[in-house]
Amino acid sequence: FSDMKKQQLNVSGYGDPSYVNHVMRYVGITFRGGTNPNFNNMEAWITKNPYAKSGLYGQCTWFAWGRFYELYGYDPGFTGNGWDCVDELLKAHPDKFERSSSPKAGAVFSAIGHNHVGIVIAVKDNTITVQEGNLDGVTNTFQDAKKDWQTKSYTLDQLRSIYGGVVFANPK
């Protein structure tokens, strides 16, 4: 819009061309289909999810892949272990995500000291709300896996302590 108005008015600048980005940094992530997983979304949880194709229902990687797909509408590009997911996401989508030691809403996190991955739902002050799967530590049936996840809030220090450190792939 700014570029169009600059041309129309024959001026060197008009408004803030980065207005949407500037506003969106203060807005939490809005999930397609709600703030909780939609396990009726067969693409996210069964047909396109590589972890489902391997029978790994309920694993944290299966959950993070499905939530990412619901959130962004495309394949995150990770297929490995939980601690590899951030690196694989950054390799697959370097134009859309960047590595960070502190999170933004919509980030994927990998646990450095544990084989774990999750999704950051919100960040407010020093509180990070995440969604993560595989609470029982086992591979489940699809029916059981649909119950094996949580939304939980941590401080960044708590998250780092619980998982032996974390790294984030933040949306740009």
CATH code assigned at 120: 3.90.1720.10
CA distance linking residue 144 with residue 141, whole number of Å? 5
Residue 108 clears pLDDT 90, i.e. is over it? yes
Total domains in the fold of the chain: 1
Confidence label for 113 from pLDDT (cuts 50, 70 and 90): confident
Is residue 16 very low, low, confident or very high in pLDDT (cuts 50, 70, 90)? confident
Q: Is the residue at 76 inside a domain?
A: yes
Has residue 6 been placed in a domain? no
Q: Is there a domain that residue 8 lies in?
A: no
The kind and range of the H/E element at 92 are helix 85-92
Q: Does residue 11 surpass a pLDDT of 90?
A: no
For residue 1, being part of any structural domain is answered with no
User: Whole-angstrom Cα distance, residue 18 to residue 109?
Assistant: 27
Q: What share of the chain has pLDDT > 70, as a percent?
A: 90
Residue-level pLDDT at 24: 47
Instruction: Look at residue 96 and tell me if it is in a domain.
Output: yes
Beta strands in the chain (DSSP E): 97-100, 108-111, 117-124, 127-133, 149-155, 166-171
Q: What is the rounded CA–CA span in Å between residue 167 and residue 83?
A: 9
Q: Taking 60 as the threshold, does the pLDDT of residue 64 lie above it?
A: yes
Does 29 or 64 have the greater pLDDT score?
Answer: 64
Contact predicate 107/171, CB 8 Å: yes
- Quick one: CA torsion of 115, 119, 122, 126, rounded to 10 degrees? 10
144 occurs within a structural domain: yes
State residue 34's pLDDT score: 60
Residues spanned by the domain of 100: 17-171
Tell me if 165 is assigned to some domain: yes
**To 10 degrees, the CA torsion angle through 135, 57, 45, 30?**
10
Distances (CA, A) of 122 to 4, 22, 26, 55: 34, 17, 10, 30
Residue 160 resides in a domain: yes
Query: Considering the entire predicted model, what is its pTM?
Result: 0.81
